[in-house]
Structure 1
Amino acid sequence: MKEIVAVIGWVTGIQGVLGVAGRTFGDGPWGMLRKWWEIPTAGYVVLAVAGLALAVYGETAKKRA
């Protein structure tokens, strides 16, 4: 279960970082989420932080087990 949480965290974090980077350095967000929803830049920041938190939790839980 902790492996799944870590993978979801990594994917979510990467999508958030791609959205912020695309809005900052490009003409629009990058990644797959832009194909389905129009997310504001602050939403991408929240996704990146939440993904990072999930990934760190999953990775540290795997090491403790």
Structure 2
Amino acid sequence: MKEIIAIVGWVAGIQGALGAAGRIFGDKPWGLLQRWWDIPTPAYLALFIVGAALAIWGETGKKRARSRA
């Protein structure tokens, strides 16, 4: 389960970072989400933060599970 959470976190974090970077440094957001929805920059930043938190939580959970075994 932690593996899935980590993967979802990585994907969400990358999409949030790409969207925010595209809005800040380019003309339009980069990444996949901009093809389906028009998301404002603060929402991209929130997506990046939530994705990073999920990725860190999932990765540390995987490490703890390996150390117990």
TM-score, normalised to structure 1's length? 0.99
SS of 1:59 mapped into structure 2: helix
Cα deviations by residue, 1:3-62 (Å, 9 ceiling, x for unpaired): 000000000000000001001111010000000000000000000000000000000000
Between the two proteins, the alignment pairs up a number of residues equal to: 65
Structure 2: tracts of 5 or more residues without a match = none
Residue in 2 that maps onto 1:39: 39
Runs of 4+ in 1 over 4 A off after TM superposition: none
Partner of 1:62: 62
Distance (Å, rounded) in 2 between the aligned partners of 1:38 and 1:21: 15
Identity of aligned residues (%): 65
Structure 1 counterpart of 2:52:
52
Secondary structure at the counterpart of residue 31 of structure 1:
coil
The CA RMSD over aligned residues, in Å, is 0.3
Q: Which amino acid aligns with 2:12?
A: T
Q: Tell me the equivalent position of 2:26.
A: 26
